[in-house]
Amino acid sequence: MPPKCIILDANALLMPFQFKLNIDHELKRLYGDIQVFVPSSVLGELANTTDKNGRAALSLARKYQIVETELRGDDAVLHIAEERSGAVLTNDRELISRLRERHIPIIRLRAERYLVTDES
Burial 83-100 (b: 16+ CB within 10 A, else e): ebebbbbbbbeebbebbe
- Tell me the sheet residues that pair with 116: 108
Task: Answer for the pair 87, 63: CB distance below 8 angstroms, yes or no.
Answer: no
pLDDT at 120 over 60: no
Every domain of the chain and the residues it spans: 5-117
pLDDT of 119 reads: 54
Rounded to an integer, what distance in angstroms lies between the CA atom of residue 54 and that of residue 13? Answer: 9
What is the tens place of the pLDDT at every residue in 55-83?
A: 999 999 999 999 999 999 899 999 999 99
Single pTM value for the model: 0.94
Q: What is the CATH number of domain 5-117?
A: 3.40.50.1010
